[in-house]
Amino acid sequence: MKSDAPGDASLMTDMIDALENGEMGIHLQPKFDLRANAVTGAEVLARWTHPVRGEVRPDSFVNIAEKSEAIRALTDWALRTTIATHKRLRATGIDVALAVNLSGRLVADPAFLANALTIISESEGQLYLEITETASIGDEEDALRHLHALIEAGALISIDDYGRGLSSLTSLRRIPASELKIDRVFIESLQHSARDALIVQSTIDLSHALGMKVTAEGVENEATLAALKTMGCDVVQGHLTGWPMSEAGFIERFAPKPRAEAG
């Protein structure tokens, strides 16, 4: 179905309302650390149930939001929601890093930065900002200055969807990232393509040499997990180690269980 401009505009008005009226929520997807053999993080993924349209996929509303100011409202909301969620998770004994998606377009936006710095400074736990590589970030002085300010405020930077689209070595050289996430197109074909396996292995080695940890996205089976372990990958994320789930589901699964009383 092709989206037309008037439809996009009404969807964005509805999305702004959804941020206020509780229709917009989040799911958490576990990030499993292969050395610690434990879930040490989670990605925050927006979920919208529209009263008429039903579930709206984040791919579609994020893409439309990115064409306007709406992306700033969505991202502010996601950051606030994440900080509140972090507090509640920690109260149940779950201490994981949370990762919020940040559109590359926003990085150079001064209005976004001012808000984000305030919100991030309230974070109690580790907070990653997953930035989708855009061709420009590595070249833009403003964007780089903003990334350093976000780090100063306590955030960690993650390069998202690495390998998809226009990945540039410039951004690896210049973006002050702590983590690199290899896009799932490479992970899905790891078992069948020697070429993709070589690309993944050399990306892992290069990231380590640059001081970044590596997360593989879209890990769906044990064979892929085993291969990534052998390659020295640090973290896996995908349906094998956990689908995106509600906060209640995450707590149910990962909160430390009280020991059963003896006798």
Binding-site ranges for Ca ion (CB under 5 A): 101, 130, 160-161, 217
Nearer to ligand C2E, 122 or 220 (CB): 220
Closest to ligand C2E by CB, 94 vs 102, is 102
Of all residues in this chain, which one has the CB nearest to Ca ion in the complex? 130
Query: Is the CB of residue 98 less than 8 Å from the CB of residue 44?
Result: yes
DSSP for the chain, written as a single string: -PPPHHHHHHHHHHHHHHHHHT-EEEEEEEEEETTTTEEEEEEEEEEEEETTTEEE-HHHHHHHHTTSTHHHHHHHHHHHHHHHHHHHHHHTT---EEEEEE-GGGTT-HHHHHHHHHHHHT--S-EEEEEE--TTGGG-HHHHHHHHHHHHTTEEEEEEEETSSS--HHHHHHS--SEEEE-HHHHHTTTT-HHHHHHHHHHHHHHHHTT-EEEEE---SHHHHHHHHHHT--EEESTTT---B-HHHHHHHHSPPPPPPP-
- The single residue among 161, 179, 234, 247 that binds ligand C2E, judged by CB under 6 A, is 161
Q: Which is nearer to ligand C2E, 204 or 219 (CB)?
A: 219
Give min distance, CB of 57 to ligand C2E, in A. Answer: 6
* Beta carbon of residue 10, minimum distance to Ca ion (angstroms, whole number): 27
Site string for ligand C2E, 125-144 (x = CB under 6 A): -----x--------------
| Interface positions, 219-238, toward ligand C2E (CB under 6 A) | 219-220, 238
Nearer to ligand C2E, 99 or 172 (CB): 99
The partner in contact with residue 105, picked from ligand C2E, Ca ion, none with C-beta cut-offs of 5 to 8 angstroms by kind, is none
Residues in region 34-93 near ligand C2E by CB under 6 A: 45-46, 57-59, 62, 74-75, 78
Residue 145 near residue 108 (C-beta atoms within 8 A): no
Which among Ca ion, ligand C2E, none contacts residue 220 (Cβ within 5 to 8 A by kind)? ligand C2E
- Contact residues: ligand C2E, CB under 6 A: 29, 45-46, 57-59, 62, 74-75, 78, 101, 103, 130, 160-161, 184, 218-220, 238-239, 244
